[in-house]
Amino acid sequence: MKLTKFTQLESLNLGASFLSTGGGGNPTEALDMYRHVLKKYGGFYVKKLSDCKPNDNCITAFGVGSNSSTSNPIPAVTQGLNILKNYLGKPSIAGIIPVEIGPKSLATAAYMAAALNVPLIDADFVGGRSSPEVFLETISLFNLKRTPAVVTNNQLQSAVLLDSPNPLFEEQFFRNFAINSNNRAYVVGYPMKVKQLNSTIVSKSVSKAYKIGQLLFKFQLNNVLSQYQGKILFKGNIIRQSNQSNPGFSTKMIFITNNQTTAKVWIKNENLILWINNRLKLTCPDLIILLDEELQPIFNKNLDEYKGSITVIGLPAETIWKSSAGIKLFSPKNCGYNSPSKVLSINKENLL
């Protein structure tokens, strides 16, 4: 799939915003990056993971830090890539895999693919959504290494992680660097062969975002819910927001009411836990998606100023997250909130 038109990239960005559950980077900045990609490179090609050769080498690039911090990632990603090449040796890079399905995360990966003249691979490391922490990726279930990796800030200061004992160490390394860099830095790394990834990451997640974006541009939310087994869980208006101190993240609790019942959503960059009338309704790894009054996804940084109605959508996570190990890894407790997990039961009710 060749993406050479801005309308195509708008659809991709909208679908990524939907699946990102409020995180994944600023969608407006993502569109700016796509404009740059079109102007300088004419677009990029999306390639199926199944069409890659087993020994093809792939890497990724992504931002780390708070959603409230914004910047242009291109200089930092370019420097990180140049440094990483010194540690990779002779293997050529055959493709770029997005770290997650989020607007700016996807645009950053697309930029690097276009700059290197290699395909963007139709897959991602988080598994069809965004996550607040580096270790919340499906490759953690299989103990795959992310190193070497380079993290670079907006001042073009870099640090190289050559090896690590576990994914939590990697998260702390990247996060601490970002905290000391005004809450924003960019990682380039995860050098892996396709044969390591065929059964350890979610494929076709980029094309899924594109298809969802096309439907949302036509205001066909019902078709999205029907095709992907989603549910409308709540409708109301935000009455209160409680910001929480958590360096390196945008963390808050929002309260939504419809005069009959009250819901609350705990956010740590992404929407992670939903309660209705103080009863636990849904948690990660399933997707909790907030839509505005036009039924378009809301980037969580914009919640402070938003005054309209809210529709809360629940969407089941990809199958790889539904295993007992997946639910245990991508749990509220591992995200920093002491709550049990609760995933979605699927039926065709609650369409608009």
Q: Would the pLDDT of 5 be above 50? A: yes
**Number of domains, the chain:** 2
What is the model's pLDDT at position 349? Answer: 44
> Considering the domain boundaries, does residue 89 fall inside one?
yes
Q: Is residue 110 part of a domain?
A: yes
pLDDT tens per residue, range 151-204 = 999 999 999 999 999 999 999 999 999 999 998 899 999 999 999 999 999 999
168 shares a domain with 49: yes
71 falls within a domain: yes
72 and 38 belong to one structural domain: yes
Q: Are 195 and 85 found together in one domain? A: yes
In terms of domains, do 198 and 247 share one?
no
232 and 118 both lie in a single domain: no
DSSP single-letter state for residue 119: P
Residue 172 shares a structural domain with residue 280 = no
* Under 8 Å between Cβ of 13 and 30: yes
pTM of the model: 0.93
- pLDDT tens digit string along 146-159? 999 999 999 999 99
**The tokens of 284 are what?**
């990660």
Report pLDDT for 69. 58
Q: Are residue 177 and residue 77 in the same domain, yes or no?
A: yes
Query: Residue 343 falls within a domain, yes or no?
Result: no
| Pairing mode, strands 270-276 and 120-124 | unpaired
Q: What percent of the chain has pLDDT over 90?
A: 87
For residue 212, is it within any domain?
no
Report the pLDDT averaged over residues 95-101: 98
Which residue type, as a one-letter code, is found at position 172? Q
List, edge to edge, every strand of the sheet that includes 309-315: 279-283, 270-276, 262-268, 251-257, 231-244, 309-315, 287-291
Helix, strand or coil, per DSSP, at residue 273: strand
Alpha helices, H only, 117-220 = 167-179, 194-197, 205-217
Q: Which domain holds residue 195?
A: 2-205
Give the model confidence (pLDDT) of 256-303 as tens digits.
Answer: 999 889 999 999 999 999 999 999 999 999 999 999 999 999 999 999
Query: Are residues 29 and 161 part of one domain?
Result: yes
Residue 273 belongs to domain with CATH number: 2.40.390.10
Residue 17 and residue 82 in one domain:
yes
Q: Which amino acid, 286?
A: D
Cα–Cα distance for residue pair 252/269, rounded to 1 Å: 9
And the tokens for 272?
């992670």
What is the structure's pLDDT at 68? 60
User: In this structure, is residue 83 part of a structural domain?
Assistant: yes
**CATH code (residue 10):** 3.40.1610.10
211 part of a folded domain:
no
Please give the mean pLDDT across all residues of the chain.
Answer: 94
Q: Are residues 60 and 191 in the same domain?
A: yes
Quick one: pLDDT at residue 278? 96
**SS3 of 346, please?**
coil
